[in-house]
Amino acid sequence: MGGYSLQALAIIVLVGGIAGWLAGLLMKGRGLGVLGNIVIGVLGAFVGGWLLGLVGVSIGGGLLGAVLTALLGAVVLLALIRIVVGR
């Protein structure tokens, strides 16, 4: 049924956590906690990949490329959340 191995899921969580944490530091927020950072980072990976695809840019492969792509998307997500919530 599932298409992801345990190792792949662990990498997704790791990348999401790192990207969410870094985005929180860059956006100077209060922090969202470990789970919030992971969620923002994983969602950010999708947003970052979509945005980079729109402009035809590839950051590169591997773990560093994944973290940078997720970081870009997470910063965009946090900025949008800040605009909507009004902080």
Residue 27 lies in a domain: no
Write the CA distances from 43 to 1, 60, 78, 81, integer angstroms. 23, 19, 11, 13
Identify the residue whose tokens are 């789970």: 35
pLDDT tens per residue across span 50-86:
999 999 998 888 889 999 999 999 999 999 988 898 7
Residue 63 lies in a domain: yes
Residue type, 6: L
Beta-carbon contacts of 17 under 8 Å, excluding residues fewer than 6 positions away, are: 34, 37, 38, 41
The total domain count for the chain is 1
Query: Whole domain around residue 60: which residue ranges?
Result: 42-87
Residue 9 lies in a domain: no
This prediction has a pTM of: 0.85
